[in-house]
Structure 1
Amino acid sequence: MNVYNAGVAARLATAIQDYEAGLLSLAQVQSALQSAITLLENDGSGIADSVRLAEADLEEIHFTVLLDEQRPAAIFRLDELRATLGSAGDG
């Protein structure tokens, strides 16, 4: 991942942590992902695609999962994205 994308990924990781801590709503973390999609450069790391897929999954969670089950489902999906962000940053 290039340096620019690493900065965007770091901001996403912060948004994920804030969501887990209850500081952001599902809509706010989804908005952070949507914003990142437009900022990420195609550097061959595949990070933009990973963020796009995670955002789509959060959209599905928002509209198809019962309200009290949304946060755990979203956190589970965001943990996968965080792992992808970390592994892309290593390479």
Structure 2
Amino acid sequence: METKIALIGIIVEESEAVEKVNELLHQFREYVVGRMGLPYRPKNVNIISVVVDAPETVISSLSGKLGMVKGISVKSVQAKTK
């Protein structure tokens, strides 16, 4: 199955959401190339960037499940090439 590179950006606004975010990322760990988390204390948020190499259906599934978590904002972008 062909895969694509994608970047999923997550802004965590409520600390209660962290456990669910980590649980979902763990479930999709085989597709995660890397992740970086940055606390931004002046605004009391945490920013997580996750790079994945996965089929488009998996990228959509992960983004959708993350989008349903209360207290976070999620956006994803996929590379144009496969």
Q: What TM-score do the two structures reach when normalised by structure 1?
A: 0.40
Write 1 or 2 for the structure with the bigger share of helix.
1
Indicate the structure whose relative CO is greater, using CA pairs within 8 Å and at least 6 residues apart.
2
Write 1 or 2 for the structure with the bigger share of strand.
2
Q: What TM-score do the two structures reach when normalised by structure 2?
A: 0.43
